[in-house]
Amino acid sequence: MTSGRGLSMSELLAQGGRSFSFEFFPPKDAAGEDQLWQAIKELEPYGPTFVSVTYGAGGGTRDRTVAITGRIARETGLLPVAHLTCVGHTTDELTAILDELSTAGVRHVMALRGDPPTGPGTAWTPTEGGLTYANELVALIRERADMRIGVAAFPEGHVDAADLETDARVLKAKYDAGAEFAVTDMVLRASDYVALVERAAAAGADFPIIPGIMPILNLGSMRRMVEFSRRELPEETTARLTPYADDPARLRAEGIAIATELCEALLGAGAPGLHFYTLNRSKATREIFANLRITV
């Protein structure tokens, strides 16, 4: 993918085929670092369109995000996308981070408002001298000639959106500011993704929207993640997993099957690709790829 590092995601997708991408997070210790690079090594042969690296609340992982994306740019053939949020930074600090990323060879950024520093579900408070909305961050990045921009989209609407139409207008504002593609929060139903794409198109946000995939490997942890965004697991999903609540291996296998079916439905509905939330492990993603007959 080295030759594609100067292209926008729209241009990469326009070259044909579908986008398959992976998301990682900055590890906290040496063991986590080893696990991360092992996952990258195991997934690199699949030739993803890009890999993204998240950014901790309040900028807590700023240095590690820059270091990891820079290393990916230097040492692999992968295209790295660095997450950047409005949380805890002034505009001058955000500009400095963009300079660091550029120096590290990173040319693609995922521009996010970010979760409140006090945790999901609490009130959002902008940093003095900083930015309030993701579209403002997109506009700041867009001023640079060397950066390409992605943004987040939400299949069931953002937790702070008054309604789905308002959520679509927010996505349109990010598109108008210069975003070139979007990646969704984890999709729980293919129909939610399809409805999001329809709302975005109606609002005039004419860019690729890639659905995010999080296979359910542990029912309790998935429920907690879903609750953070005030959503619920679909009843049909819970019904399939609950019988295996005391059998982790069978629950994991059913979770992989559900994720595979979801991927098939999304691709069948016209999704331009799939974005896998890997949690810095490769096994579940590789199993889904095998089920989808996507090979190295």
- Rounded to whole angstroms, how far apart are CA atoms 3 and 262? 31
Q: Is 167 helix (H, G, I), strand (E, B) or coil?
A: helix
How many CA atoms lie less than 13 Å away from 90 in the CB half-sphere? Answer: 4
Nearby residues of 17 by Cβ (< 8 Å), 6 or more positions away: none
Which of these is catalytic: 23, 44, 136, 156?
A: 23
Q: Is the CB of residue 200 less than 8 Å from the CB of residue 153? A: yes
Q: Compute CA distances 193 → 144, 210, 218, 269, whole Å.
A: 31, 9, 23, 9
Considering only CA atoms, give the Rg of the chain: 18
- Rounded to whole angstroms, how far apart are CA atoms 215 and 135? 30
Q: Compute CA distances 245 → 118, 213, 237, 283, whole Å.
A: 32, 21, 13, 21
Amino acid occupying residue 218:
N
Structure tokens at 255: 């979770």
Nearby residues of 258 by Cβ (< 8 Å), 6 or more positions away: 215, 216, 237, 240, 241
Task: Answer yes or no: 23 catalytic.
Answer: yes
- Rounded to whole angstroms, how far apart are CA atoms 111 and 94? 11
Catalytic residue numbers, as ranges? 23
